Amino acid sequence: FNREKPKPLKVGITDDLIQDIAIRKLAFGAGTLRAAVASYVQSPRYYRALMAGGARYDLKGQPCGEVTPHKQKEAESRLMMLNDRRKARKR
């Protein structure tokens, strides 16, 4: 996970991460993980990465699927809403 240059993540990667936590017996729960993933995937940079299209990546950084045109458009809409909210707060 790189917040400066995010890559589109595999659909369902949160479930993969939860399984990884259990296997490795890490000391934090699924709720904390979900919050961290949500923070990452709801960032403007991540939305821009989705809008660009291309491959999605798994936990090992390997390509595993593509960003669909529908998800590209959805990311554009979400980014616009996020920008609108930020502008409204500044007023």
In this prediction, residues 41-49 reach a mean pLDDT of 97
Binned at pLDDT 50, 70 and 90, residue 68 comes out as very high
Provide the H-helix boundaries in the chain: 13-24, 30-41, 44-52, 69-90
What local confidence, expressed as pLDDT, does residue 74 receive? 98
26 within some domain: yes
- pLDDT over 80 at 40, yes or no: yes
21 within some domain: yes
Question: 28: domain CATH number?
Answer: 1.10.1710.10
In this prediction, residues 71-90 reach a mean pLDDT of 94
Binned at pLDDT 50, 70 and 90, residue 29 comes out as confident
7 within some domain: no
Domain of residue 60 covers 13-90
What local confidence, expressed as pLDDT, does residue 90 receive? 82
Number of domains in the chain: 1
